[in-house]
């Protein structure tokens, strides 16, 4: 049996080195640093799209730190919450700065995450062997949505109060369990002090703990299989004499400097927003939220914060008339599956039966449009989790796909932004039609991906990464 072995250092070694050696003998600090970053070899052709992963980590730390300072003065009480936020803004030294950093950080977090997901979409970072990395990332995205939703109520402003009321009421549309589920989420028959307390507990303790665990799992999985790159080539397939991929470089110092530059640019933009436009025209902080929540006075237009609005537009697009279009779309998709899919016969039969049940359920006499709005709202988020199994393209990166594939991705981005904008606006007939067209394209992009992703003339993928030094 081996006993404890202490690392022998020269007597004249620096004190810092001796201290590190003492820790390393008892805890694998240096090993963790080297495995996860210091001597982690990453592809040498990363571009600016690869900044957003480390930026997301930076914003997460920023949110946790500013959140801790806010909780020191915030009162999770329906009678005191709004005034405690005003107290933070007006009386606490630098409280206004901490509050604006936290509120701007929430929007910045989603901007960074959406760009991070866009990079994965462009370069096929979710493809084999990185499916689990993508699933952990998707779980992080769900946690962020929950964290933002629970935190949105805490200022107890008009839009916070009524936004929470509307979103929680959506769960009431679920048959059988809906009313009880809404009651359980609120903790009361209306949004009240009980709701505020449980939302505070979830926002400050429960969700952050889960979030940190998922981030750790995401990074461990990433460093286990290795990072992707803009060419979609597995650099581990071409190792050098030292055992490291020939087309990779140590993350430190090369990508440390790369990421620090990204953080510097981010902080410049972030600081500009915090100091000069923290409300960002009402998109980051709604004007109604500067009024205390009033259960007796409903705002003219209730909408969630901008980062939820693309999916909220999908919910609003599902009207009683549009249900008939969706019924036809489901029938057409299943017919297409039967003709073009290579799935087993039994699988096709099961899918057809499910489709028939769905179509019957969509009839106005069975379930109303509000329920199906919630279903499609949820499906528009969940469908992202299946990307690794929907994309059948012979190449990973957009660089080597047919040109018309790029147009499909560009149209998806335009559709997503358009849906996001429409979700912030009061509904009208024209806007609803545009939302419905956007909803159809959004789902068609993913559900038809197994076929269109294999079509066209693909460029030859090089054997080694294409690298142009800056």
Binding-site annotation: residue ranges: 102, 116, 203, 218, 223
Binding-site annotation: residue ranges for a ubiquinone: 223
Question: Is the peptide bond prior to 285 cis by the omega test (within 30 degrees of 0)?
Answer: no
Binding-site annotation: residue ranges for heme b: 102, 116, 203, 218
């Amino acid at each position: 049996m081996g006993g404890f072995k202490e690392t022998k250092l020269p007597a004249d070694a620096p004190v810092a080195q001796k201290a590190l050696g003492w820790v390393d003998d008892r805890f694998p600090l240096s090993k963790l640093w080297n495995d996860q970053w210091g001597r982690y070899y990453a592809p040498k052709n990363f571009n600016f799209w690869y900044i957003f992963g480390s930026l997301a980590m930076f914003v997460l730390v920023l949110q946790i730190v500013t959140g801790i300072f806010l909780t020191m003065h915030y009162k999770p009480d329906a009678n005191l919450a709004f005034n405690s936020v005003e107290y933070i803004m007006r009386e606490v030294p630098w409280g206004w700065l901490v509050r604006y950093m936290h509120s701007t950080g929430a929007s910045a977090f989603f901007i960074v995450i959406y760009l991070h997901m866009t990079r994965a979409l462009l370069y096929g970072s979710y493809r084999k062997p990185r499916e689990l990395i993508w699933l952990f990332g998707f779980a992080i995205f769900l946690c962020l949505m929950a964290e933002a939703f629970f935190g949105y109520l805490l200022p107890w402003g008009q839009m916070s109060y009524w936004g929470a009321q509307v979103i929680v009421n959506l769960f009431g549309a679920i048959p059988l369990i809906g009313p009880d589920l809404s009651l359980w989420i609120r903790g009361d028959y209306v949004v009240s002090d009980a709701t505020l307390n449980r939302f505070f507990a979830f926002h400050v303790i429960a969700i952050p703990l889960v979030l940190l665990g998922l981030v750790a799992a995401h990074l461990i999985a990433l460093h286990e299989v290795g990072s992707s790159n803009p060419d979609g080539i597995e650099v581990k397939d071409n190792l050098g004499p030292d055992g490291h991929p020939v087309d990779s470089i140590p993350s430190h110092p090369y990508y440390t400097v790369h990421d620090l530059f990204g953080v510097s640019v981010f902080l410049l933009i972030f600081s500009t927003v915090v100091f000069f436009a923290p409300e960002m025209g009402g998109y980051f902080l709604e004007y109604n939220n500067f009024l205390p929540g009033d259960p007796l006075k409903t705002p003219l237009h209730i909408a969630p914060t901008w980062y939820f609005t693309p999916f909220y537009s999908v919910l609003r697009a599902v009207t009683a008339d549009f249900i008939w279009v969706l019924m036809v779309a489901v029938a057409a998709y299943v017919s297409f599956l039967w003709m073009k899919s290579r799935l087993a016969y039994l699988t096709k039969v099961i899918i057809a039966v499910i489709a028939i049940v769905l179509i019957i359920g969509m009839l106005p006499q069975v379930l109303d449009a509000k329920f199906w709005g919630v279903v499609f709202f949820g499906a528009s988020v969940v469908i992202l989790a299946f990307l690794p199994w929907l994309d059948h393209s012979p190449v990973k990166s957009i660089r080597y796909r047919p040109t018309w594939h790029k147009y499909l991705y560009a149209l998806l981005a335009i559709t997503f932004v358009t849906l996001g904008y429409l979700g912030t606006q009061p509904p009208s007939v024209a806007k609803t039609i545009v939302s419905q067209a956007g909803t159809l394209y959004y789902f068609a992009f993913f559900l038809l991906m197994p076929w269109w992703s294999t079509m066209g003339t693909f460029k030859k993928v090089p054997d080694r990464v294409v690298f142009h030094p800056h």
